[in-house]
């Protein structure tokens, strides 16, 4: 489907597209012939693009999606699944999608899954770990692990259970059924369902709303939502943001300046809030 937005290609990749428009970075899996199943290379490219989006100061929101309108992502490419992971040109088996999941959670900007068609297996987990999911009416969701000899006991199980509840998450994994967009909306698995032809427009409208908001407030909220679930690693992320804010203060700069100027710091002038 033609986009009405003038997406600028930031970098050419083999298995994904990475583009930018108006504060939004779009990472799109470009393997529609296999419903956007991922190989180690797909994941490596997505990972690099996610890092580029993180470092790009123009980017406030990231969209994760798949090309073709028939699939968001159908998980790991079963044709290259080898002994201990997915095998790329270097013949090394990898489960590198787990690192990408962490990146999606850690990037201090909202990540929106724009889901048309299949979001299945490891592809389903990718949308689950995104901050928000907007689905087209043709979207279909599900896990296939126990059917095809795999499982994701990390975010794919525990975070899914936080999103839809324990009973529903167990049903999704144990039965390997497929759920339509309305089912997904009802169980809180997606934020909104729209006709396919409105998917990109609605996603961009949601992005525009977030881009109007305070980036620091969104950043703090994302790390706060994560902290509640991620234990010590979550606290580290939230605390890192607290340090960032403290570094911006005159009080913290006084400590730095005093050290550089080889004098005693004067912290007395800073307020001691009740």
**Residue set of the binding site for substrate:** 74-78, 86, 118-122, 144, 150, 247, 262
105 binds ligand S0N (CB under 6 A): no
88 binds ligand S0N (CB under 6 A): no
172 closest CA partner among 208, 218, 125: 125
Question: Do 74 and 123 touch, CB atoms closer than 8 A?
Answer: yes
For the CB of residue 144, give the shortest distance to ligand S0N in the complex, in Å: 4
Q: How far is CA 97 from CA 94, 200, 233, in A?
A: 8, 25, 19
Binding test (CB under 6 A) with ligand S0N, winner from 118, 173, 179, 206: 118
Site string for ligand S0N, 67-86 (x = CB under 6 A): -------xxxxxx------x
98 binds ligand S0N (CB under 6 A): yes
Residues contacting 147, CB < 8 A, separation 6+: 176
Gap between the terminal Cα atoms of the chain:
57
15 binds ligand S0N (CB under 6 A): no
60 binds ligand S0N (CB under 6 A): no
Torsions phi, psi for 113 (to 5 deg): -85, 125
Name 114's bridge partners.
Answer: 134
47 binds ligand S0N (CB under 6 A): no
Residues that bind ligand S0N (CB under 6 A): 34-35, 37, 74-79, 86, 95, 97-98, 118, 120-122, 144-145, 148, 150, 152, 156
């Amino acid at each position: 489907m033609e986009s009405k937005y003038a997406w600028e290609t930031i970098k050419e990749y083999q298995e994904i597209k990475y583009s930018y428009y108006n504060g939004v970075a779009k990472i799109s899996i470009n393997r529609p012939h296999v419903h956007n199943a991922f190989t180690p290379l797909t994941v490596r490219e997505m990972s690099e693009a996610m890092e580029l989006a993180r470092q790009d100061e123009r980017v406030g929101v990231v969209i994760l999606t798949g090309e073709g309108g028939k699939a968001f992502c159908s998980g790991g490419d079963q044709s290259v699944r080898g002994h201990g992971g997915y095998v790329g040109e270097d013949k090394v088996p990898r489960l590198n999608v787990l690192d990408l999941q962490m990146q999606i959670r850690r990037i201090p900007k909202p990540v929106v899954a724009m889901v048309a068609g299949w979001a299945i297996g490891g592809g389903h987990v990718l949308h689950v770990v995104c901050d928000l999911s907007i689905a087209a009416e043709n979207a279909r969701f599900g896990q296939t692990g126990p059917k095809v000899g795999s499982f994701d006991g990390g975010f794919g199980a525990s975070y899914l259970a936080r999103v839809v509840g324990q009973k529903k998450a167990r049903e999704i994994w144990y039965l390997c059924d497929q759920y339509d967009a309305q089912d997904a909306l009802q169980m809180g698995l997606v934020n909104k369902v729209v006709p396919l032809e409105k998917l990109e427009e609605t996603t961009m409208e949601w992005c525009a709303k977030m881009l109007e908001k305070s980036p620091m407030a969104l950043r703090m909220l994302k790390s706060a939502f994560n902290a509640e679930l991620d234990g010590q690693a979550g606290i580290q992320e939230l605390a890192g943001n607290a340090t960032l804010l403290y570094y911006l203060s005159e009080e913290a700069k006084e400590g730095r300046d005093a050290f550089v100027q080889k004098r005693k710091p004067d912290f007395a002038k800073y307020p001691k809030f009740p």
